[in-house]
Amino acid sequence: MNVNVPPGSISNSPQPTEWPEGTLTRVPFWIYHSPDIYALEQQRVYEGPVWNFLCLEAEVSKPGDYRTTFLGSMPVVVARDSDDEIYAFENRCAHRGALIVLDGGGHARDFTCVYHAWNYDLKGNLKAVAFEDGVNGKGGMPKTFCRSDHGPRKLRIALFAGLVFGSLSEDVPPIEEYLGEEVATRIKRVLHKPAVVTGRFTQMLPNNWKLYYENVKDTYHASLLHTFFTTFGINRLSQKGGMVVSPSGGNHASFSFVDKSTQGNDYAAMGLRSENEDFKLKDPTLLDNADEFNDGCHMQILTVFPNFVLQQIQNSLAVRQVLPKGLGETALNWTTFGFADDTPEMKTRRLRQNNLAGPAGYVSMEDGAVGGFVQRGVAAADGERAVLEMGGSGTTNEGTRATEAAVRGFWKCYRAHMGV
Amino acid sequence: MAGITTERILALHAAYTRCIDRNELESWPDFFLDPCLYVVTSAENHRAGFEGGMIYADTRGMLTDRVMSLRDANVYEKQSYRHIVGMPYVIKNGGDEAETETPFMVMRIMHDGKTDVFATGIYLDVVHAAGGDLKFKKRVVVCDSSRIDTLLALPL
pLDDT tens for A42-101 read 999 999 999 999 999 999 999 999 999 999 999 999 999 999 999 999 999 999 999 999
pLDDT at A5 over 50: no
Determine the 3-state secondary structure of A359 from DSSP.
coil
* CB-CB under 8 Å, A366 with B76: yes
What pLDDT score does A269 carry?
44
Does position B77 have pLDDT exceeding 60, yes or no? yes
| Residue A163, amino acid | L
Partner-chain residue, chosen from A198, A279, A358, that has the shortest CB–CB distance to B73: A279
Using CA atoms, how far residue B111 sits from A135, A361, B105, in Å, is 63, 22, 20
A336 at B interface, C-beta within 8 A: yes
List Cβ neighbours of A175 (8 Å cut-off, separation of 6 or more). Answer: A51, A158, A159, A160, A165
Q: Do B56 and A285 touch (CB under 8 A)?
A: no
Containing A386, the helix (H) or strand (E) segment is strand A385-387
Q: Does the beta carbon of A58 lie under 8 angstroms from any beta carbon of chain B? A: no
Percent of chain A residues past pLDDT 90, beyond the cut: 75
Which of the residue ranges A131-145, A267-281, B42-56 would you say has the lowest mean pLDDT? A267-281
Say how far residue A301 (Cα) sits from the centre of its chain: 12
> What is the nearest CA distance from A13 to chain B, expressed in angstroms?
27
Confidence label for A15 from pLDDT (cuts 50, 70 and 90):
low
Q: A359 vs B53: CB contact, 8 Å cut-off?
A: no
| Residue A7 confidence (pLDDT) above 80 | no
> What's the mean pLDDT when you consider all of chain B?
96
Residue A274 confidence (pLDDT): 47
- How much is the average pLDDT of B70-89? 96
ipTM of the complex: 0.96
Contacts of A225 in chain B (CB under 8 A): 75
b/e burial code for range A325-343 (CB count within 10 A of at least 16 → b) = eebbbbbbbbbbbbbeebe
Chain mean position to CA A287:
26
What backbone phi and psi angles, to 5 degrees, belong to A87? -125, 155
Verify cis geometry, omega within 30 degrees of 0, for the bond prior to A194: no
Is pLDDT larger for residue A263 or for residue B135?
A: B135
CB contact under 8 A, B151 and A359: yes
Q: How far apart are the first and last CA of chain B?
A: 28
By a Cβ cutoff of 8 Å, what residues of chain B touch chain A?
40-42, 44-45, 50-59, 61-62, 64-66, 68-69, 72-77, 146-153
Q: Look at residue A158 and give its three-state secondary structure.
A: strand
Percent with pLDDT over 70 in chain A: 88
Cβ partners under 8 Å of residue B74, min gap 6:
A227, A228, A362, A365, A366, B153
Distance CA A340, CA A379 (A): 47
What HEC string does chain B produce? CCCCCHHHHHHHHHHHHHHHHCCCHHHHHHHEEEEEEEEEEEHHHHHCCCCCCCEEECCHHHHHHHHHHHHHCCCCCCEEEEEEECCCEEEEECCCEEEEEEEEEEEEEECCCCEEEEEEEEEEEEEECCCCCCEEEEEEEEECCCEEECCCCCCC
Calculate the CA A106 to chain-centre distance.
23
Q: What pLDDT is recorded for position A238?
A: 55
Specify burial of residue B16 (Cβ count, 10 A radius: 0-12, 13-18, 19+). buried
Contacts of B133 (CB under 8 A, 6+ apart): none
A359 in B contact zone (CB under 8 Å): yes
pLDDT at A193 over 70: yes
Q: Which of A282, A315, A332, A354 to substitute to test the interface with B, most B CBs within 10 Å?
A: A282
For residue A215, name the pLDDT band (cuts at 50, 70, 90).
very high
Higher pLDDT, A64 or A276: A64
pLDDT for the residue B44: 97
Query: Are the Cβ atoms of A365 and B74 closer than 8 angstroms?
Result: yes
| A278 confidence band (pLDDT: 50, 70, 90) | low
CA dist., res. A33 & res. A377, Å (int): 12
Name A165's bridge partners.
A53, A158
Residue A59: list chain B partners with CB under 8 A.
none
pTM: 0.93
Please name which of A124, A114, A168 lies closest in space to residue A150, comparing C-alpha atoms: A124
Averaged pLDDT, A16-41: 88
**Residue B150 and residue A362: Cβ atoms within 8 Å?**
no
Are B74 and A228 a contacting pair at CB < 8 A? yes
Residues A339-381 have pLDDT tens digits of: 999 999 999 999 999 999 999 999 999 999 999 999 999 999 9
How does strand A119-120 pair with strand A111-112? antiparallel
CA-to-CA distance for A297 and A312, rounded, in angstroms? 9
The C-alpha atoms of residue A190 and residue A183 are separated, in whole angstroms, by 11
Chain B neighbors of A368, CB-CB under 8 A? 150-151
Would you place residue A227 in the very low, low, confident or very high pLDDT band (cuts 50, 70, 90)?
A: confident
Angle CA(B34)–CA(B35)–CA(B36) in degrees, nearest 5?
A: 95
Q: Is the CB of A352 less than 8 angstroms away from the CB of B54?
A: no
- pLDDT of residue A16 exceeding 90, the answer is no
Per residue in B8-21, pLDDT (tens digit) is 999 999 999 999 99
Task: Tell whether the model's pLDDT for residue A35 goes beyond 50.
Answer: yes
Contacts of A195 in chain B (CB under 8 A): none
Is-contact A318 A299, C-beta < 8 A? no
**Contact assignment for A202 to B62 by CB distance below 8 Å:** no
Confirm if B85 and B17 have CB atoms less than 8 A apart: yes
High-pLDDT (> 90) share of chain B, %:
94
Task: For residues A416 and B18, give the distance between their C-alpha atoms in angstroms, rounded to a whole number.
Answer: 54
Chain A residue closest in CA terms to B153: A360
Q: Which residues of A touch B65 (CB under 8 A)?
A: 281-283, 286
Smallest CA–CA distance, residue B135 to chain A, in Å, is 20
Contact A204 B53 (CB under 8 A): no
Residue A321 contacts residue A53 (beta carbons within 8 Å): yes
Whether residue A131 has pLDDT greater than 60:
yes
Q: Given 3-state DSSP classes, what are the helix, strand and coil percentages for chain A, each rounded to the nearest 5?
A: 25, 25, 50
A-B contacts at Cβ under 8 angstroms: 120
> A254 to chain B, minimum CA–CA distance in Å?
22
Rounded-to-integer distance, Cα A23 and Cα A31, Å: 16
pLDDT at A10: 44
Alpha-carbon torsion, ordered B13, B18, B20, B21, to 10 deg: 130
Q: Which amino acid is at A391?
A: G
pLDDT for residue A310 is more than 80: yes
- Is residue B71 very low, low, confident or very high in pLDDT (cuts 50, 70, 90)? very high
Does A366 touch chain B if contact means CB atoms closer than 8 Å?
yes
Which of A190, A216, A194, A191 is CA-nearest to residue A203? A216
- Decide if A243 contacts A405 (C-beta within 8 A): yes
Q: Give chain B positions within 8 Å (CB) of A65.
A: none
pLDDT at A382 over 50: yes
pLDDT higher than threshold 50 for residue B92:
yes
Q: How confident is the model at residue A12 (pLDDT cuts 50, 70, 90)?
A: very low
Predicted pLDDT of residue A148: 95
User: Is A315 in a helix, a strand, or coil?
Assistant: coil
Nearest-Å Rg of the Cα atoms of chain B is 15
CA atoms of A339 and A323, how far apart (whole Å): 26
Give A42's DSSP letter: I
Q: What is the reported pLDDT for A60? A: 98
Distances in Å between the alpha carbon of A302 and those of A17, A69, A74, A245, A410?
Answer: 30, 21, 24, 10, 13
**Contact A362/B74, CB-based, under 8 Å?**
yes
Q: What is the pLDDT of residue A84?
A: 98
Pick among B30, B58, B62, B151 to test the A interface (most A CBs inside 10 A):
B151
Ranges A252-266, A342-356, A360-374, B28-42: which has the least confidence: A252-266
Q: Give the SS3 label for residue A85.
A: coil
> B38 to chain A nearest CA, in Å?
11
* pLDDT score of A151 more than 50: yes
pLDDT at B65 over 90: yes
* Mean predicted lDDT score pLDDT of chain A: 90
**pLDDT band of A260, cuts 50, 70, 90:** low
Residue A232 forms contact with B (CB below 8 Å): no
Pairing status of strand A86-90 against strand A74-80:
antiparallel
Residue pair A151/A92 in contact (Cβ under 8 Å)? The answer is no
